Amino acid sequence: MRNFFILLLSLQLSALFVNAQETEGFETDINFGFTLTDGNSDTSLLKAGVESKNIREKQETLLSASYEYGRTKDKLANGEEVETTNLDRGKAVGQSNWLFSEEAYAFYNFTAETDELAKIDYRINNGPGVGYYFLRDDGRLLNTETSVVYVMEDVGGNSDDYAAFRLAQKFEYKFAENGARVWQTLEGVMNFSDTDNYFMELEVGVEAKLHANLSLRVVLKDKYDNDPEPDVEKNDLTLFSGISVKL
């Protein structure tokens, strides 16, 4: 599954670079970060992603894909080196919104993710829903969404599928004077037939412009699964910094 997400992200990045001049109406950001230490400690951490959106008067298309990988290499007392993977996950999201007023809209969302350390070989949820914009202008965005989704997953070697309730919210603010922005997203999915089976994801980010199309970003992500595998922690917190390039 990891190779699938690497291939998916590579194809999306390649297509965007080759066709950057042909994607009229789409705003696309490519973001990446890499940390490497060598010597007393040997670690590497990689994050790469792409976000693309097409905003029209009555329809919005939102696409994103990301991959995160981290590992450490330790030397034992006998001189043997042991490599440990401490982060290996990917996610792809596609959503179309159809506005029937300036504030209200219907949408269809598709989300697929994998997380090796959480023993999620794949988790796919998709379904229709409705949303509402409390704020929507050039510098501000605040919305909430609710939907019923169908979840298919393979966690810990066990395949399952079920209907679930999805609730999501997003806030974004852009500073007109310097182009910086801050954002926050929250999403939760709960199994209808087993309300103890739910998972959530919170993201908080800040981005500051370094040049016309180049920005520095810092992102805090908190993933919570209330019903994980027996030897997996419920909460998973990561903090990334990196570069964002606007095409």
Q: What is the per-residue pLDDT across 181-234, written as a single tens digit (0 to 9) for each? A: 999 999 999 999 999 999 999 999 999 988 888 999 999 999 999 988 888 888
**CA-CA distance, 137 to 229, in Å (whole number)?**
43
Average pLDDT of the chain, as a whole number:
85
Q: What is the pLDDT of residue 35?
A: 76
Q: Report how many domains make up the chain.
A: 1
| 69 residue type, one letter | Y
Q: Which residue has the higher pLDDT, 200 or 36?
A: 200
- The alpha carbon torsion through 171, 177, 178, 184 (nearest 10 deg) reads -10
* pTM to 2 decimal places: 0.83
Please report the pLDDT score of residue 176 as a whole number. 80
Residue 38, pLDDT score = 66
CA angle 44, 154, 237 (to 5 degrees): 40
Q: CA–CA distance from 241 to each of 31, 137, 178, 208 (Å)?
A: 10, 27, 19, 12
Strands, E, within 116-180: which ranges? 120-136, 140-155, 158-174
CB 16 within 8 A of CB 28: yes
Kindly state the average pLDDT of the residues 150-172.
94
Which among 24, 69, 31 has a CA at the least distance from the CA of 50?
Answer: 31
First to last CA, the chain: 28
User: Token pair of 240, please?
Assistant: 């990334």
Write down how long the chain is. Answer: 247
Structure tokens at 234: 């419920």
Query: What is the helix (H) or strand (E) element at residue 16, kind and residue range?
Result: helix 2-18
CA 90, CA 5: separation in Å to the nearest integer?
Answer: 6
Comparing 25 with 62, which gets the higher pLDDT? 62
Domain span at residue 160 reads 2-246
Q: What is the pLDDT of residues 117-140, one digit of tens each?
A: 899 999 999 999 999 999 998 889
Does 17 score more than 70 pLDDT?
no
- Residue 187 sits in a domain whose CATH number is 2.40.160.40
